[in-house]
Amino acid sequence: MILLLPLLFHCTAGKDRTGFSSAFILRALGVDKQTVLDEYALSNFYRYEYNEETIEKAAKFYGLDQRILRPMMSVRPEWLEKGFDEIDKQYGNFDNYLLELGVDSTAKSKLRMKFLQ
């Protein structure tokens, strides 16, 4: 595997695909689940002003109630947690899931050496 750094990945809002991908990378690096969930939840704090402006504009433009738009612009850590729970249910734990993807202890060690100090 060739990994060029620095690495950038993103999606439109940066919360769903990117948020889940970031969470999975953090878990593969050995970060505990609760810390990952807490970090994921910070998106609501750091994106608050942008989200509120976007919600207001979209509500006016499309004539929608802001309460309908707000869940689309925010993150819910419990959704991410449900994803982790499903992995645990199907694979026993996150490490087994990574093994199924071909990420063994050697690969995890290489990732940790590359990304952690």
Catalytic residues: 11
The number of angstroms, rounded, from the C-alpha of 36 to the middle of its chain's C-alpha atoms is: 8
Peptide linkage before 6 cis (omega within 30 of 0):
yes
Residue 93 to residue 90: CA distance in whole angstroms: 8
Number of neighbours of residue 45 by Cβ within 10 angstroms:
7
